[in-house]
Structure 1
């Protein structure tokens, strides 16, 4: 009977030591996967914005609207959109148009901002004007 009580005590001690480590690793893995998914969302938005921007008669408001619509539909929060040049009407055929989308990770996190609280993801896409 004494052996069984000691065995339970060891099991409780192992659980007390291992459970926080396993939970931390699980939540960290979830956060990394969330970050990769967020990076892909903003990359797609930047690409689609650049595609709109290189078409003839495009405006910066059309590019911003297109990016914002995509990001909002994907539930991305805390983003900024920038373009180079700032007005796509200034593009000549063969010029590059660059769209950059930045998104803070904290408002887009699943388990809170305790791992990557100050991380900002940025994706840039450059396309040649038609």
Structure 2
């Protein structure tokens, strides 16, 4: 009789633990999913920032050549941005015309892209923001 009572009490204990585990899952799973999604979105924005940096750097390398034109610079930028599937990217060149810029002058390129158009998830974390990268080199 004593053995039967212990088994009955152990069975109730297991059911109690199942309820605790279900409650813990219900509380922790949404937080864990949110953390994973935020990490994925942050990695996407790091990739976007790196893509803008690479495209800006390569375009300014073209801009500092003595025989380059603005269309050469824009073509190089667009080629790299298209290869990395960046949407809505824009390039600002300073000074406005690299062909007439004298040697020794700094040329700055500012690449921008909206986070909304390049996000994998709905705009929860980076909605309405724009990433911007500026690269400066001296004209050769």
**What TM-score comes out, normalization by structure 1 length?**
0.95
What is the RMSD of the two structures over their aligned residues, measured on CA atoms?
1.0
Offset at residue 57 of structure 1 (A): 2.0
Offset at residue 101 of structure 1 (A): 0.3
1:32 paired residue among 15, 30, 42: 42
2:76 paired residue among 44, 66, 84: 66
2:63 paired residue among 35, 48, 53: 53
Deviations 1:30-86 (CA, angstroms, capped at 9, x unpaired): 111111111111001011111111112211111111101100100101111110011
Q: Which runs of 4+ in 1 moved over 3 A?
A: none
2:110 paired residue among 69, 83, 100: 100
Structure 2: gaps of 5 or more residues: 1-10
| SS of structure 2 residue aligned to 1:36 | helix
Return the alpha-carbon distance in structure 1 between the equivalents of residues 89 and 16 of structure 2.
55
Return the alpha-carbon distance in structure 2 between the equivalents of residues 115 and 83 of structure 1.
30
Query: Is the counterpart of residue 81 in structure 1 residue 91 in structure 2?
Result: yes
Match of 2:137 in 1: 127
| SS of structure 2 residue aligned to 1:90 | coil
Return the alpha-carbon distance in structure 2 between the equivalents of residues 37 and 118 of structure 1.
18
Query: Is the counterpart of residue 21 in structure 1 residue 31 in structure 2?
Result: yes
Offset at residue 112 of structure 1 (A): 2.7
Return the alpha-carbon distance in structure 1 between the equivalents of residues 104 and 66 of structure 2.
12
Structure 1: gaps of 5 or more residues: none
Match of 2:5 in 1: none
**What TM-score comes out, normalization by structure 2 length?**
0.89
Query: Is the counterpart of residue 11 in structure 1 residue 21 in structure 2?
Result: yes
Return the alpha-carbon distance in structure 1 between the equivalents of residues 51 and 39 of structure 2.
18
